Amino acid sequence: MKHKILILSALIIITAGLLFNACKESFLENNPIGPITSEVLANRNGVNGVLIGAYSLLDGLGGNVTEGFTRGISNWQYGEVASDNAHKGSTYSDQIEINPIENYSVLPTNGYMSGKWNCLYAGAQAANEVLRVLSKAEGEFSEEEANEIKAEAIFIRSVFLFEAAKMWRYVPYIDENVTVANDNFYVPNDQDILPLIEADLKWAVEHLNPVQGAIGRVNSWGAKALLGRVYLFELKFAEAKAILTDVIDNGVNSIGVKYDLVNFSDNFNPVKQNNAETVFAVQMSVNDGASGYNGNAADALNFPQGGPGGGCCGFFQPSFDLVNAYKTDPVTGLPLIDTYSDSDITSDQNVAPEQPFTPYTGTLDPRLDWTVGRRGIPLLDFGTNPGSWVRSKPDAGPFIAMKNLYWKVDEETMTETYSSWRPHGATSNNYNMIRFADVLLMAAEAEVEAGSLDKAQEYVNRVRARAANPGGFVRTYKDPANPTGGFTDTPAANYFIKLYPAGYFAARAKEGARELVRFERRLELALEGHRFFDLQRWDKLQPGYMSNALNTYIDRELESFDYQILEGASFTINKNEIYPIPQSEIDNSEYNGVVTLKQNANY
Average pLDDT, integer, range 353-363: 94
Average pLDDT, integer, range 151-171: 98
What are the backbone angles phi and psi of residue 100, rounded to the nearest 5°? Answer: -70, -20
Report whether pLDDT(157) > 80: yes
Ranked by mean pLDDT, the top range of 172-181, 347-356, 387-396, 488-497 is 488-497
Within 21-175, strands assigned E span 86-89
Among 360, 395, 396, smallest CA distance to 375 is for 360
DSSP secondary structure code for residue 287 in this structure: S
pLDDT value of position 28:
40
Report whether pLDDT(369) > 60: yes
CA angle (152 as vertex; 146, 155 as ends), nearest 5? 140
pLDDT value of position 104:
98
Say if residues 310 and 325 touch (Cβ distance below 8 Å). Answer: no
Pick the CATH number of 300-566 from 3.30.420.40, 1.25.40.390, 1.10.3720.10, 3.10.20.30: 1.25.40.390
Element (DSSP H or E) covering residue 547: helix 545-560
pLDDT 10s digits, 537-588: 999 999 999 999 999 999 999 999 999 999 999 999 999 999 999 999 999 9
Instruction: Give the integer Cα–Cα distance in Å for 99 and 567.
Output: 11
Instruction: Give the integer Cα–Cα distance in Å for 369 and 378.
Output: 8
Among 109, 229, 267, smallest CA distance to 537 is for 229
Which sign does the torsion angle of CA 158, 161, 163, 168 carry?
A: negative
Q: pTM of the full predicted structure?
A: 0.93
pLDDT 10s digits, 424-477: 678 889 999 999 999 999 999 999 999 999 999 999 999 999 999 999 999 999
Domain boundaries, the chain: 300-566
What are the backbone angles phi and psi of residue 276, rounded to the nearest 5°? Answer: -65, -20
Among 286, 268, 287, 290, smallest CA distance to 278 is for 268
Report whether pLDDT(31) > 70: no
| Helices of type H across 188-236 | 194-207, 220-233
3-class DSSP assignment, residue 488: strand
DSSP secondary structure code for residue 300 in this structure: G
pLDDT value of position 144:
96
Report whether pLDDT(19) > 50: no
Say if residues 123 and 57 touch (Cβ distance below 8 Å). Answer: yes
Say if residues 366 and 328 touch (Cβ distance below 8 Å). Answer: no
What is the number of residues in the chain? 603
Radius of gyration of the chain (CA): 23
Report whether pLDDT(2) > 50: no
DSSP secondary structure code for residue 142 in this structure: -
Greatest Cα pair distance in the chain:
73
pLDDT value of position 1:
28
pLDDT value of position 66:
54
Report whether pLDDT(478) > 60: yes
Average pLDDT, integer, range 78-99: 94
CB neighbours of residue 576 within 10 Å: 23
pLDDT value of position 96:
94
pLDDT value of position 30:
41
What is the pLDDT confidence band of residue 14, given thresholds at 50, 70 and 90? very low
pLDDT value of position 296:
86
Mean pLDDT of the chain: 90
More confident residue, 127 or 414: 127
Instruction: Give the integer Cα–Cα distance in Å for 113 and 109.
Output: 7
pLDDT value of position 208:
98
